[in-house]
Structure 1
Amino acid sequence: MNGRVLRAQITMRCCGTTAPERTAGPCWQLFVVMIGRVDDWPVYTWPTSPQAPTVEERAAELALLGFALAEDAEWEWCESTTPEYHPHPEQVELMAAAQIRPLNGDAA
């Protein structure tokens, strides 16, 4: 690895998502932040549910995407509010991020 810090993020998509597939309601989405177009980032979308994925579920999906948490890394949670343009009243939005590493040892 070239020393570049990779990060994974997980966020609740309160109004569903259109990529990589459309969901009809709230869902959690995990993606690996990389250089380049957002459309090219590795992503996993859990089935529609407001329930946050467990640490074990996040680790399993990260592995399917070819990544694992970096040594001593933990998920760090933060909250904000949904933007004014959302078609519902303002609400709290949760997001978590963690440092990750490729499973094969290569730079992503």
Structure 2
Amino acid sequence: MSKQIFGAQMSLRCCGTTSAATAGGSRWQLYVAMSGLVSEWPTFTWPPTAEIPTLEERARALADLGFTLAEGVEWEWTEHAGPDYHPHPARVLMLCSAKVRPLEGGGA
């Protein structure tokens, strides 16, 4: 089993995404923070929706990226105010994060 542990984070992106994605509304995005440029991090973006991706949808997205939750880990939610630089009023943001590890034989 791989001993590498990375941090995955999921958030509802209202003003674009960290990867090239078309406009068309708010969308949930999951990425795995690694070394190197943010633009090179493994990223999964759901179609526009405000519905929170289910645990199963998150697991499939992680697997598509070559990762799975680390042993005994659950997703954790945190809340904070949106950044001041957005072109709309600041609002509360929900972030979901978890420790992940590469899948055995995965491409990550």
Q: Which moved more, 1:95-104 or 1:19-28?
A: 19-28
- Identity over aligned pairs, percent: 50
Shift of 1:19: 1.8
2: distance between equivalents of 1:93 and 1:76? 14
Structure 1 alignment gaps of length 5 or more: none
- Whether the 8 Å contact between 2:4 and 2:102 is mirrored in structure 1 is no
Give the AA of the match of 1:45.
Answer: T
Please, what is the CA RMSD of the aligned residues?
A: 1.9
Give the AA of the match of 1:15.
Answer: C
Q: How does 1:84-103 map to 2 (within 5 A)?
A: 84-103=84-103
Cα gap change, 1:16 to 1:25, in 2 (>3 Å): farther
2: distance between equivalents of 1:57 and 1:5? 21
- Whether the 8 Å contact between 1:16 and 1:24 is mirrored in structure 2 is no
Aligned with 2:28: secondary structure? strand
Moved beyond 4 Å, runs of 4+: none
What per-residue deviation string (whole Å, max 9, x for no partner) do you get for residues 33-63 of structure 1?
A: 1011111100000000111101110001101
1: distance between equivalents of 2:47 and 2:40? 21
Q: Which moved more, 1:55-64 or 1:18-27?
A: 18-27
TM-score, length-normalised on structure 1? 0.89
Structure 2 alignment gaps of length 5 or more: none
- Alignment: residue pair count: 107
TM-score, length-normalised on structure 2? 0.89
